[in-house]
Structure 1
Amino acid sequence: MTDSADSRASLGDGIRFAFGTLTVLPVRVARWDRAAARAGMLWAPLAGLVVGLFAAAVGGALALLDAGPLLAAVASAAVPAALTRGLHLDGLADTADGLGSGKPADDALRIMKQSDIGPFGVITVLFVLLAQIAALYELYGESWAQGALAAALSAVTARLALTLASRTGVPAARPGGLGAAVAQTVGMRTALTVAALVVAACAAAGTLFGASPVPSAAGAAHCALAAVAALAAAELLLRHCARRFGGVTGDVFGAVAETAATATLIALAVR
């Protein structure tokens, strides 16, 4: 579907779709069609920003209250999970089970659709959360500001990865569900434009990463590169899943988001 055909949804429709499907915030989705889905995926980074600011506020407050960097890190990792009811982590677990099963695409998709979580899913979620907490611990150990900023940026980058995953050329693996609703709704050029704008915003926020109060070019470059590296990691997973399953599902979208969030935090923790 072309960008012009999808452009009929209003700004409000898009924002409501983004918040209504990607968060548990009390937002009513007024429209559930391709036009609203396209607009919603374009505004997905905004939903990520709100989630990230909540995570940054809780973690930063704990750090400022001398609760310690570990508790601040755990809180910053827990808030996004709470604000999505663990939807993305559940998608990560299901995707890991499907990939780890080694079965043909149809069988793997059936495994992913089951309500239980297998050993691959448990292990993957465990190590992903440990990686997020470890990276946040290092950053909060540097300063509350670095930890809080990392929490916010990781949530934004995670949802930006969803915008890119919704681009044309990446089909749905099966009909029905959120994956089919948003698959191929965003034109490639539009997705890249949103990505460029969000990475530039990450670079602007990265000026806060300097060791002094003076805006830091190194901090800006660090944050921009972290966002790009995270999107690259998410893209590798997306392409592998598209080949393995014949397209994307809602579970794959969750796995892509968690991969981007984790990669952002790791990249920011690396000096």
Structure 2
Amino acid sequence: MPGLRFAFGTLSVLRVRVARWDREAGGRAMVCAPLVGLVLGAFAAGLGALACWRGGALLGAVTAVAALAALTRGLHLDGLADVADGLGSGKPAEDALRIMKQSDIGPFGVLTLLLVLLAQIACLTGQFALSPGRGALAVLTAAVAGRCALGWGCLRRVPAARPGGLGAMVASTVPVPAAAAGTALSALALALLGLHPRYALALAVAQLAAAALLLRCVRRFGGITGDVLGALVETAALAALLVLALGP
């Protein structure tokens, strides 16, 4: 329960009291993060399907993307923009981390946000055009795939880039078997729900895309931050949607 409370209390707008704020609870929260994606994704998928039924595929896609952003207070999108600014700055790790911590968004962040959101909407529009149910499953897959990436981003061999903040709280807290189990169960659940292996494949490819970004950030910044974790979520979500859009 402390891990679930931590996960929903920090990764969503749901009013959940976080009873414990320590590394053990944080590690459990990252393992439980796919459950957060399941709940938020189901809600956004339902809204998107309803909007698609009443107003068309494009409206369904925009509604689903907006719902996920609202349900997380834009937390992961903000992290994506900050990481883009940090990586794009070309400055040493300490200066790049300082840029990421600033409240404003630079040109790299704005451009990355714009392209990622447009790509997500484009992919979902194609899925909703096939059917509201197909679009809803794509939304759910992206939401779960993004949160699976959090467990891999907090593996015990992945350090924190700086002391303090959510990144330092959850860095190096998740054993590999726990992250693998969470991803495997999520992939199985999505495959059974969608009655097709494409959803499991999309989730698996999403983790590879997130891993590539994670490796780049660890080499560039010396570890992870809360912003890096947010960027992993959005990167994995987009990768999952691209697989579904480009696949059969």
TM-score class, shorter: over 0.9
Q: CA RMSD in A?
A: 0.8
| Structure 1 residue corresponding to 2:200, chosen from 196, 220, 224 | 224
Q: What displacement does 1:38 show?
A: 1.4
Please name the residue that 1:152 is paired with: 140
TM-score, structure 2 normalization: 0.98
Q: What displacement does 1:206 show?
A: 2.3
More displaced 10-residue stretch of structure 1: 144-153 or 191-200: 191-200
Query: Equivalents in 2 of 1:193, 1:49: separation in Å?
Result: 16
Whether 1:251 and 2:222 are equivalent positions in the alignment is: no
| Structure 2 residue corresponding to 1:131, chosen from 110, 119, 134 | 119
The residue type paired with residue 150 of structure 1 is A
Alpha-carbon displacement from aligned partner over 1:169-227 (angstroms, at most 9, x marks no partner)? 110000000011111111112211221111111211221xxxxxxxxxxxx22111111
The residue type paired with residue 231 of structure 1 is Q
Query: Equivalents in 2 of 1:244, 1:205: separation in Å?
Result: 39
SS of the equivalent of 2:197 reads: helix
Please name the residue that 2:170 is paired with: 182
Alignment of 1:64-75 (within 5 A): 64-65=53-54, 67-75=55-63
Alpha-carbon displacement from aligned partner over 1:98-118 (angstroms, at most 9, x marks no partner)? 000000000000000000000
The residue type paired with residue 232 of structure 2 is V
Q: What displacement does 1:64 show?
A: 2.1
Whether 1:20 and 2:33 are equivalent positions in the alignment is: no
More displaced 10-residue stretch of structure 1: 187-196 or 233-242: 187-196
The residue type paired with residue 56 of structure 1 is A
1:206–1:224: 8 Å Cα contact kept in structure 2? no
TM-score, structure 1 normalization: 0.90
Whether 1:143 and 2:131 are equivalent positions in the alignment is: yes
Structure 1 residues not aligned, in runs of 5+: 1-11, 208-219
Q: What displacement does 1:134 show?
A: 0.1
Please name the residue that 1:80 is paired with: 68
Please name the residue that 1:95 is paired with: 83
1:172–1:248: 8 Å Cα contact kept in structure 2? yes
Which protein has the larger Cα radius of gyration, Structure 1 or Structure 2?
A: 1
| Structure 2 residue corresponding to 1:61, chosen from 27, 46, 50 | 50
Please name the residue that 1:240 is paired with: 216
Whether 1:165 and 2:157 are equivalent positions in the alignment is: no
Runs of 4+ in 1 over 6 A off after TM superposition: none
| Structure 2 residue corresponding to 1:266, chosen from 233, 242, 245 | 242
Q: What displacement does 1:164 show?
A: 1.2
Sequence identity of aligned pairs in percent?
59
Query: Equivalents in 1 of 2:194, 2:158: separation in Å?
Result: 31
SS of the equivalent of 1:161 reads: helix
1:59–1:72: 8 Å Cα contact kept in structure 2? yes
| Structure 1 residue corresponding to 2:106, chosen from 101, 115, 118 | 118
Please name the residue that 1:32 is paired with: 21
SS of the equivalent of 1:43 reads: helix
How many residue pairs match? The answer is 247
The residue type paired with residue 238 of structure 2 is T
